């Protein structure tokens, strides 16, 4: 948005001889700085991507060399593997539940904190803490215990807890993500505080009530931040692993109800040793995430409002 970048000072003292080094030398310097990144991007990103694309057309168990099977992995995935579709549905369900819930909660709390005079800093940090802790194995274990037979949820609602019941186990996993709403909340809060007060005053003068102000001032001004959070959280949600793993003890159960896509990928690739198949799954995931991101970006044109254009 409004990144302050002072315009480059015009090359005033043209007389100073050491001022501009020859272009080639400067470019050379840039490449030196970039070299670790270039190495990493080539060897650890580009090359693996190509290799994994290749592997997706092979049968590879890591013990014996890969042997080419053409499209068989993809065909099997889409037509012969009911578990694959279950993992897709599970992941989609999870994304659709967890992301909106988490963002809504983040926004609500940010709004509540916006105008607080005392304790805002305290609440902000306190709500943020779970985001840091939530990704840990420790908390995942706590979650599993809380929702299990004999855990707090069981004591409150009866019925043996949620972990062993197919519909509810995914909800438990989703709640773990929602619990970590602190990170997007902090971003929302910062975004809210950047909205100039004059806009609200002008709206009030025009007779707009609280709700109208929210809809006409807050939402549009916040939309870039909202968009950023939406994209980030959605991409992360598609790749969720640790909570599902910990809550289901690695099995994706019960009845595959917590078998998210990456968990199934791990199972096929590392436990059942079908690396080719897992690679195919990874590429499909990549394409889907790319597509979803592209869709989000496209639709953003209609609802995201940038206060200052000409950015980037």
Q: How would you classify the pairing of strands 58-59 and 67-68?
A: antiparallel
Over the range 133-162, which residues count as b (16 or more CB within 10 Å of their CB) and which as e?
A: ebeeeebbebbbebbbeebebbeeeeeebb
Query: Rule CB under 8 A: is residue 110 a binding residue for other proteins?
Result: no
Q: What's the alpha-carbon Rg for the chain, to the nearest Å?
A: 25
Number of H helices, E strands in the chain: 15, 2
**Using CB under 8 A, which of 104, 132, 215, 291 touches other proteins?**
132
Positions in 43-82 near other proteins (CB under 8 A): 43-45, 47-49, 51-52, 55, 59, 61-64, 76, 80-82
Region of 89-97, 156-164, 212-220, 299-307 interacting with other proteins (CB under 8 A): 156-164
By beta-carbon proximity to other proteins, the closer residue of 71 and 156 is 156
Quick check: 59 and 276 in contact, CB under 8 A? yes
Positions in 270-299 near other proteins (CB under 8 A): 270-275, 278-279, 281-283, 285-286, 289-290, 293
By beta-carbon proximity to other proteins, the closer residue of 42 and 215 is 42
Query: Rule CB under 8 A: is residue 128 a binding residue for other proteins?
Result: yes
**Using CB under 8 A, which of 88, 99, 109, 260 touches other proteins?**
109
**Using CB under 8 A, which of 93, 199, 219, 251 touches other proteins?**
251
**Using CB under 8 A, which of 104, 137, 215, 295 touches other proteins?**
137
Q: How far apart are CA 6 and CA 3, in angstroms?
A: 9
**Using CB under 8 A, which of 126, 215, 291, 295 touches other proteins?**
126
Query: Rule CB under 8 A: is residue 205 a binding residue for other proteins?
Result: no
Positions in 19-38 near other proteins (CB under 8 A): 19, 21, 26-27, 29-34, 36-37
CB of 302 to other proteins, least distance (A): 19
Q: Which residue has the tokens 């206060």?
A: 307
Query: Rule CB under 8 A: is residue 244 a binding residue for other proteins?
Result: no
Would you call 58 helix, strand, or coil by DSSP? strand
Tokens describing residue 69: 């099977």
Positions in 207-236 near other proteins (CB under 8 A): 224-225, 228-229, 231, 235
Query: Rule CB under 8 A: is residue 96 a binding residue for other proteins?
Result: no
Query: Rule CB under 8 A: is residue 202 a binding residue for other proteins?
Result: no
In the chain, the DSSP E strands lie at 58-59, 67-68
Tokens describing residue 47: 């090359």
Q: Which of 94, 104, 245 has its CA nearest to residue 167?
A: 94
CB of 91 to other proteins, least distance (A): 12
Ramachandran quadrant class, 281 (left: phi over 0; alpha: psi -120 to 50; beta: rest): alpha
What Cα–Cα distance (Å) separates residue 153 from each residue in 160, 161, 163, 194?
8, 6, 10, 40
Query: Rule CB under 8 A: is residue 241 a binding residue for other proteins?
Result: yes
């Amino acid at each position: 948005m409004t990144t302050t970048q002072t315009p480059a000072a015009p090359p005033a003292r043209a007389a100073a001889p050491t001022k501009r080094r020859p272009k080639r030398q400067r470019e050379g310097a840039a490449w030196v700085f970039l070299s670790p990144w270039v190495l990493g991007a080539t060897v650890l990103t580009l090359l693996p991507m190509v290799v994994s694309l290749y592997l997706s057309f092979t049968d590879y168990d890591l013990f014996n060399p890969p042997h080419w099977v053409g499209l068989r992995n993809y065909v099997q995935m889409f037509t012969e593997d009911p578990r694959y579709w279950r993992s897709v549905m599970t992941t989609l369900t999870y994304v659709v539940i967890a992301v909106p819930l988490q963002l809504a909660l983040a926004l609500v709390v940010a709004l509540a904190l916006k105008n607080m005079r005392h304790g805002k800093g305290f609440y902000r940090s306190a709500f943020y803490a779970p985001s840091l802790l939530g990704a840990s194995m420790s908390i995942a274990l706590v979650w599993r215990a809380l929702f299990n037979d004999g855990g707090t949820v069981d004591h409150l609602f009866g019925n043996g807890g949620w972990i062993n019941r197919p519909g509810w186990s995914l909800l438990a996993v989703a709640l773990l993500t929602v619990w970590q709403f602190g990170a997007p909340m902090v971003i929302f809060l910062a975004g809210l505080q950047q909205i100039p007060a004059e806009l609200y005053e002008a709206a009030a003068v025009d007779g707009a009530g609280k709700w109208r102000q929210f809809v006409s001032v807050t939402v549009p001004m916040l939309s870039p931040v909202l968009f950023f959070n939406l994209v980030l959280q959605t991409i992360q949600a598609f790749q969720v692993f640790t909570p599902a793993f910990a809550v289901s003890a690695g099995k994706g159960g019960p009845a595959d109800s917590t078998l998210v896509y990456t968990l199934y990928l791990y199972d096929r690739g590392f436990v059942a040793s079908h690396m080719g198949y897992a690679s195919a799954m990874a590429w499909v995931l990549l394409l889907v995430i790319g597509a979803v991101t592209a869709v989000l970006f496209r639709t953003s044109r209609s609802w995201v409002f940038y206060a200052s254009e000409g950015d980037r």
